[in-house]
Structure 1
Amino acid sequence: MRQTLIRKAAMTRTIQSLAEISKPYDALFCDLWGCLHNGVAPFPEAVAALQGFRAQGGKVVLLTNAPRPAKFVIEALDRMGCPRDAYDLVVSSGDAAQDAMFAGAVGKKVWHLGPTKDDGFFTEIPEEWQGQAEITRVDFEEAEGIVCTGPFDEDTEVPEDYRPKFLLAKTRELPMLCANPDIVVDMGEKRIYCAGALAALYEEMGGDAMYFGKPHPPIYDLARRKLARLGGVDDARILAVGDGINTDVPGAAGEGIDCLFVTGGLAHDQFGPDRDNPDPELLRGWLGARQQDPLYTIGTLR
């Protein structure tokens, strides 16, 4: 049985480099967007920090809420020029959500709400589901459930655009599988909505949504199973790294894992003008208002 560690609230410690605090840890669960890259290119200092951790014998699991199987995440990292020696494994929300879909969590006939770039969620069938996956993508009118990987057009659409469709879905009591709990991500300088924003609206309207990425347990369970194939690591020696105050930080806390919060990601404009050095008073007040207490914080991963 997993034991959740309970630590008394204390002021987070701001550090200047991962190397300062990496010695007690054998593995990282590291977020992608806002930590390792900005959706367009990797951050050189972050790459170097992960390479340095691995050079000391640590394992790096890139734990991402991307709604696609790990294979496609790795291909995207390759296109960006992120070197493969910066990580050992990729575990995605798409991987965890796929398991649930193929197990029939939202029925056998599903309507896909998402861009065509996420088609691999349906076509790249995991080995354990080969020969027994009977999921069919159908039109909305025929669907038993919804698989949401994001808006159809993430460049122009907002969640409110889907209110009429969601009203119909709620009336039909269609369950929604959300393959990415993130609300927004930054693509370069542009902020775009993710599947989590659509699922939140659906729930607000009275619909039923299920989540499998951070901060929810399934993605952490999957990461542990995959890490075990490399030798396994005790939870006390895993450090979660992320910029999501609603995903990475509470997800780590719920799993009893220490957390390094990257302030220079999604919330970078909340802590003063210097992205690399968050203002201590602004940071303390911001975390307190959200009742979050990551063990460490850092401006940017380096």
Structure 2
Amino acid sequence: MSARQAVHLDGIAALAERYDVFLLDQFGVLHDGQQPYPGAVEALSALKRAGKTVTLISNSGKRAEPNERRLLKLGFEAGSWDHFVSSGEVAWRVFRNMTNLGELRAGTRCLLISRDGDRSAIEGLPLVLTERGENAELVLIAASESDRYDLDHYRGLLGPAAALKIPCFCTNPDRIMLTAIGPRFAAGEIADIYERLGGSVTRIGKPYPAIYEAALALAGNPARGNAICVGDSVEHDIAGGRAAGVATALVKSGILADSGDLTALFQELGAWPDYTLDAFRWR
């Protein structure tokens, strides 16, 4: 589908008439990290009242439960979504399985790059935290504090680990994040730095298949023609949703707020949405 063929909608009520399963991004669609977007709380609740299966799918390096707590704190109605799948949750389960299979040794020293001291990405896992790259046996990039630190901070922190070829996992492939002081570089950009420094990175989250497989499984493995992915990132939500075989809707809020013609971006990434909306609202 080309950009010219994308159907522009005033709200998601029109999508509810066509699809029964919704895979919804949170940052840039439902909220900006500080407050909900106008109409988003009501639209999410309206989807559930319409009998839809709603799975929130997020490139958050945090596990599902702290993400759900934040949504409730922001004012979203309890029960207005069925499942929450974060890249941090998927990664945590991958690490747990690796531990059970003996592929991840208990006591492995982990350099964790997170935000606001969050440790949910490794809670319950037999990892030992280290703050020095040269001591690390595993690097986990779960979040960015780009509103506090610049890229040179992360280059200095990660350089020794990259030089030693320490395995690195990134549980938030987003390259741009919304902060209280505007858009800043996200964990995906830090992962790119690690690679440029000579290390290798395994990325978990959108647009990669594992997170979609987990989300669709929780939704009951619906017929792909009956599901739609809604997000604000062409690179992650639209490309990932299309690769998973579901319809896609691009919300022009979040990182694309105030963007003009997106045709060049669609062409560059080879990903065209089926629908576009100015905001996540009901009508």
| TM-score, structure 1 normalization | 0.83
Q: 1:54 aligns with which of 24, 48, 52?
A: 48
Q: How far does the alpha carbon of each residue in 1:248-293 deviate from its partner, in whole angstroms, 9 at most, with x for none?
A: 111101111110001122111222xxxxxxxxxx233443344321
CA distance in 2, matches of 1:264, 1:18: 14
Q: 1:284 aligns with which of 263, 266, 282?
A: 263
CA distance in 1, matches of 2:42, 2:210: 29
State the one-letter code of the partner of 1:237. Answer: N
CA distance in 2, matches of 1:115, 1:35: 21
State the one-letter code of the partner of 1:299. Answer: D
CA distance in 1, matches of 2:56, 2:156: 36
Match of 1:213 in 2: 205
Q: Provide closer, same or farther for how the CA distance between residues 243 and 199 of structure 1 changes in structure 2, counting only shifts above 3 A.
A: same
Q: How far does the alpha carbon of each residue in 1:190-229 deviate from its partner, in whole angstroms, 9 at most, with x for none?
A: 223321110011112331011111111111121123223x
Match of 1:248 in 2: 237
1:262 corresponds to 2:256: no
8 Å contact from structure 1 (residues 67, 118) kept in 2: no
Q: Provide closer, same or farther for how the CA distance between residues 81 and 9 of structure 1 changes in structure 2, counting only shifts above 3 A.
A: closer
Deviation at 1:8, TM superposition (A): 7.7
1:174 corresponds to 2:166: yes
Q: 1:64 aligns with which of 48, 58, 65?
A: 58
CA distance in 2, matches of 1:283, 1:162: 31
Identity of aligned residues (%): 25
Q: How far does the alpha carbon of each residue in 1:171-191 deviate from its partner, in whole angstroms, 9 at most, with x for none?
A: 211111111111122124522
Deviation at 1:94, TM superposition (A): 0.6
Match of 1:294 in 2: 273
Q: How far does the alpha carbon of each residue in 1:53-86 deviate from its partner, in whole angstroms, 9 at most, with x for none?
A: 2212101111111111111001111221121243
Gaps of 5+ in 1: 1-6, 126-132, 272-281
8 Å contact from structure 2 (residues 249, 276) kept in 1: yes
Match of 1:200 in 2: 192
Q: Provide closer, same or farther for how the CA distance between residues 9 and 82 of structure 1 changes in structure 2, counting only shifts above 3 A.
A: closer
8 Å contact from structure 1 (residues 181, 213) kept in 2: yes
8 Å contact from structure 1 (residues 183, 196) kept in 2: yes
Match of 1:93 in 2: 87
| TM-score, structure 2 normalization | 0.88
Q: 1:156 aligns with which of 133, 145, 148?
A: 148
CA distance in 1, matches of 2:183, 2:3: 32
Question: How many residue pairs end up in the alignment?
Answer: 274
Range with greater deviation from structure 2 (34-43 or 104-113) = 104-113
State the one-letter code of the partner of 2:272. Answer: D
Match of 1:32 in 2: 26
Q: CA RMSD in A?
A: 2.1
